């Protein structure tokens, strides 16, 4: 076959891997070629525009290192990360919704006891957080792992300022008590921008978009017999709550960060200044339900991949 034109080239490419031995590779490759060719036919790029696109992707790869993953950031700001999340974690009645993993999780975070302060040297307004973890139906999950991380009072994460802080802050892992409860002190997070010093920042500016995420607390929750949950608790009323740069906000994940006056906190601590308070009761999806949802989509049941701008 030869003499291909803009209409015949697609079928020619598809025929080249007609004998692909892996059905999934063949399915993905075929969809990629069909949609990519249709995209090119739709936008009719000039050769200069196509060269710019290749240069853009090249620079995105060059921006990646052991502390930065520009392609995942690109996936986030284009809504692909949330699309993948929606496909792999469809809504289930009475189960807490998931959202994007975000850029700043670390492996092996500091371990804390219930009621400890996670803030470290990070600065901001004090905040008390509590809640429960359970299965659908209300059974509380004792010993569930609660992994938390968040920004400081000016929008920076600890990993962006480790030298200044002298270590981690605003993050930690703990276990729920016998009644499936968790509680901790920290500081109130605020909104912050995703990294904009690379090609993705260039893309956002070209699209006339801001780079900000609304204030939120990150949670990753794990318990035997249940699917791992990656989610946030967003601050109601945040100026970016309806324009999250990575499209992660869901109504069910929004809570009021209540400003409490000085006095006795819920855990009995005496506070000499106002503090913020938030509570949330999480419900984890049973693994059986996760497998059924996966089977219904003709997918192999597998653990969710962690998505981060910082490789693990």
Whether the Cβ atoms of residue 110 and residue 173 lie closer than 8 Å to each other: yes
Confidence of residue 257 (pLDDT cuts 50, 70, 90): very high
Mean model confidence pLDDT for the chain:
92
Closest CA to 312 of 35, 60, 101: 101
Closest CA to 255 of 285, 232, 271: 232
Q: Which pLDDT value is given to residue 289?
A: 67
* 64-122 per-position pLDDT tens digit: 987 788 998 999 999 999 999 999 999 899 999 999 987 788 889 999 999 999 999 99
Q: Which pLDDT value is given to residue 290?
A: 61
DSSP character string of 171-194: EEEEE--TTSEEEEEEE----EEP
Domains annotated for the chain, with CATH where assigned, are 9-63 (no CATH), 71-296 (2.60.130.10)
* 126-156 per-position pLDDT tens digit: 999 999 999 999 999 999 999 999 999 999 9
- This prediction has a pTM of 0.87
Measured distance CA(77)–CA(250) in Å, rounded: 16
Q: What is the crossing angle of helices 23-43 and 9-16, to 10°?
A: 160
Closest CA to 63 of 171, 186, 199, 242: 199
Q: Which pLDDT value is given to residue 75?
A: 94
């Amino acid at each position: 076959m030869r003499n291909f034109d803009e209409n015949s080239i697609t079928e020619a490419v598809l025929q080249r891997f007609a004998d692909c031995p892996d059905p999934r590779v063949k399915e993905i490759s075929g969809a990629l070629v069909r949609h990519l060719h249709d995209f090119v036919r739709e936008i009719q790029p000039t050769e200069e525009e196509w060269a710019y696109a290749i240069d853009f992707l090249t620079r995105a790869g060059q921006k990646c290192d052991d502390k930065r993953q520009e392609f995942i950031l690109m996936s986030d700001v284009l809504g692909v990360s949330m699309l993948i999340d929606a496909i792999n974690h469809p809504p289930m009645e009475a189960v807490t919704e998931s959202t994007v993993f975000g850029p700043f999780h670390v492996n092996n975070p500091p371990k804390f006891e219930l009621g400890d302060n996670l803030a470290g040297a990070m600065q901001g307004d004090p905040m008390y957080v509590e809640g429960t973890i359970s299965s659908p139906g209300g059974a509380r999950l004792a010993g569930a792992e609660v992994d938390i991380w968040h920004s400081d009072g000016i929008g920076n994460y600890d990993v962006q300022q480790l030298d200044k802080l002298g270590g981690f802050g605003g993050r930690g892992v703990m276990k729920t008590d016998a009644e499936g409860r968790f509680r901790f002190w920290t500081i109130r997070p605020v909104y912050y921008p995703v990294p904009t010093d690379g090609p993705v920042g260039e893309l956002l500016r070209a699209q006339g978009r801001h780079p900000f995420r609304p204030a939120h607390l990150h949670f990753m929750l794990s318990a035997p017999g249940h699917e791992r949950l990656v989610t946030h608790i967003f601050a109601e009323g945040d100026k970016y709550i309806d324009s999250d740069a990575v499209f992660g906000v869901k109504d069910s994940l929004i809570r009021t960060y209540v400003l409490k006056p000085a006095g006795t906190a819920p855990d009995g601590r005496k506070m000499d200044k106002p503090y913020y308070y938030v509570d949330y009761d999480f419900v984890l999806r049973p693994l059986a339900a996760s497998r059924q949802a996966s089977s219904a989509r003709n997918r192999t049941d597998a653990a969710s991949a962690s998505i981060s701008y910082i490789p693990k």
